[in-house]
Structure 1
Amino acid sequence: MGALFARRGVFLLLVVMLGFCAAFAGAWAGRRVLAPEPPMESRFHTLIHHDLALDAGQQARIAALETRYEAQRAQTDAAMRADNRQLAEAIRTEHGYGPRVAGAVDRSHQAMGLLQKQTLQHLFAMRAVLRADQAARFDAAMVEALTAPTR
């Protein structure tokens, strides 16, 4: 009788271990297959700071460019938030697509366009720091980012 319980115990232990292994394998496969691609900003950051093998001078120049861009971006983000508040107020007041809403939308689009221009200027300023071989990889990554299908 004791041998029967021992076999059941071993069998139960094997089933539990097999279940754990299957769950672990499923979670691992799900993360590998179904995990979203990192955002383009992260991929550019990885490219610039890890994949391009920048020398110390390049790193310092790019760090200065990034500091300047972050300050500029913070100002533009604040302006966009203010534009959104104005748009919300116009919607609350007009309850439709009236002249205040249209004006607020136009101001919001101007701020978004400014952010896009500032971002491109920042990217090209960083590109100017790169050697020709690094710039070619940078260009390829930028073209990929602009032409990749959206999900």
Structure 2
Amino acid sequence: MRMGPFRIALLIFLALAAGFLGSLAADKWLARNGESASLHGFVHQELRLSETQMKNLDEMEDKFAVKRRTLELSLRAANGKLATAMEEEHEFGPKVALAVEDVHDRMGELQKATISHVFEMRSLLSPNQQAAFDRHVSDALTADQQ
């Protein structure tokens, strides 16, 4: 099955958009830019952490920042391989299909690592803090994105 230029362009756009959205979602949740809308901002600014909790959280964040960066670079490399496969095949052929699966796998790894980090942060919190944290996470996941 041959694909026309429009379908190829659409496929490229969708692949890049998927990678971008995965990265954007991770950034929105885990940004350290002081915005109270981010999960980290909420934890740091709203939950009144003890010194011990803050120290443990800082260690977790440092460790996750390295892991996240590694996963983001892996996703970027997978997107590059997808672009190469699309240039070579000019249709949704076997190389493109494998490259798309690789991009999806890398996005899934990033999402799983992010969710694991969220639960790891939650484990540091007192029951009252956990309740507020859970509400914030639930609201963030179900809010209309604009």
TM-score bin (small chain): 0.7 to 0.9
TM-score (norm 2): 0.74
Higher Cα Rg, which structure: 1
Correspondence for 1:16? none
* Secondary structure of the structure 2 residue equivalent to 1:66: helix
| 1:82 equivalent in structure 2 | 77
The code of the aligned residue for 1:139 comes to D
The secondary structure found in structure 2 opposite 1:150 is coil
Alignment gaps of 5+ in structure 1? 1-38
State the match for 1:135 in structure 2: 130
Q: d(CA) in 2 for partners of 1:82 and 1:60?
A: 34
Partner of 1:110: 105
- Distance of 1:70 and 1:123 partners within structure 2: 13
Amino acid at match of 2:60: L
How far 1:149 sits from its partner (Å)? 1.5
Question: What is the aligned partner in structure 1 of residue 64 from structure 2?
Answer: 69
| TM-score computed with the length of structure 1 as normaliser | 0.72
Distance 2:60 2:40 in 1: 13
Letter in 2 for 1:92: E
Task: Give the Cα separation in 2 of the matches to 1:40 and 1:147.
Answer: 13
- Corresponding residue number in structure 2 for 1:96: 91
Specify the alignment match of 1:32 in structure 2.
none
Distance 2:41 2:88 in 1: 46
Percent of matched pairs sharing the same residue? 36
Work out which of the residue numbers 52, 59, 64 in structure 2 matches 1:57.
52
Q: Which residue of 2 aligns with 1:19?
A: none
Q: Which has the higher contact order (CA 8 A, sep 6+)?
A: 2
Aligned to 1:7: none
RMSD, matched Cα: 1.1
Deviations 1:92-132, CA, capped at 9 Å, x for gaps: 00111111111001000001001111001001000000011
Distance (Å, rounded) in 2 between the aligned partners of 1:45 and 1:74: 17
Q: Any idea what SS the aligned residue of 1:97 has?
A: coil
Which residue type is aligned with residue 80 of structure 2?
A: R
Instruction: Give the deviation of 1:146 after TM superposition.
Output: 1.1
